[in-house]
Amino acid sequence: MEISVQGIALKYKEKIPEEFIRSKDEQPGITTVEGTALEVPVIDLRNPDEEKILESIVDASQKWGMFQVVNHEIPGEVISKLQLVGREFFELPEEEKEKEVYVKPVEVDQYDAGTLSLEGYGTKLQREVQGKKGWVDHLFHKIWPPSAVNYHFWPKNPSYREANEEYAKWVQGAVGGENLVYLAKINYYPPCPQPEVVLGVVAHTDMNNITILVPNDVQGLQAFRDGLWYDVKCIPNALVIHIGDQMEILSNGRYKSVLHRTRVNKEKTRMSWPVFLEPPADFQVGPHPKLVNENNPAKYKTKKYSDYVYCKLNKIPQ
């Protein structure tokens, strides 16, 4: 593995390497509408009117591509333990982290359509435009179904396994989706001396069906709306839900996959814990037949999920 962003943050206290500095049309210090946080819909899952909850989810999925849920019934201590063991892993010395988990090789910086090799610890995820890098380290591993879990990609600490397996049970129980794969990720954004010129994760839509994200208390999520970038204020104890590409494709464009990115902080470490709900690799995804007719033709191709992801991460037109 090349030097982690965490290692770079310790080495460069004032000026960061050039490969992290984004072009002016991407820099958050220039492109963010400052002082205005998006009022992303907040849905209370304890509302006794279930029809109202459903209407709110549909409306948010169509108009925003994202929403937050409160009173989701996942116990606070389950989420706190998930966050604790994630922090403990990333706070280990680099050589200890590399002993704990599978480290993705430097030369494999794109998705392998044959092996689904997103899992592991690293800094690269997709082809970088003009060699630029995001200010983030990450860890990927599957948490559901049990048949898809490979502990080779998990930190060896028993507390880590216990906390993640408990969280997986609660999320799977709340969301369902017997045929979906739950891919967990931890994003670790170290403090950055020049946060106005870097991005943590660059602008993207999630390529899966739905993303369920646990943030920490350091704000940084941004969404693109009406041609502009805005901060998204994450509410304490809420889960952030993103509509992904496969849901947009399945709905033939009725639901919108949200374009989002993350900025980083000068003094504080930011972390997030998304879980990506995705189809099996060989599952064919396309517009639902009931949503396609002469007046509303298919807007997207039908293809295997693994092929879709390969194209997306390698910047190949779909």
Which residues are known catalytic residues?
185, 204, 206, 260
Task: Kindly report whether the peptide bond that precedes residue 93 is cis, defined as omega within 30 degrees of 0.
Answer: no
Q: Which residue, 4, 221, 257, 222, is CA-closest to 134?
A: 4
Structure tokens at 74: 């996942």
Cβ-proximal residues to 158 (8 Å cutoff; 6+ apart), any chain = none
Q: Which residue, 313, 208, 211, 282, is CA-closest to 250?
A: 208
The vertex-278 CA angle with 289 and 155, nearest 5°, equals: 175
Nearest-angstrom CA–CA distance, 201 and 221: 9
Nearest-angstrom CA–CA distance, 190 and 176: 34
Structure tokens at 291: 């949503």
Nearest-angstrom CA–CA distance, 267 and 278: 34
Q: Which residue, 198, 206, 201, is CA-closest to 243?
A: 206
Residue 98's Cβ-side half-sphere holds a number of Cα atoms within 13 Å equal to 12
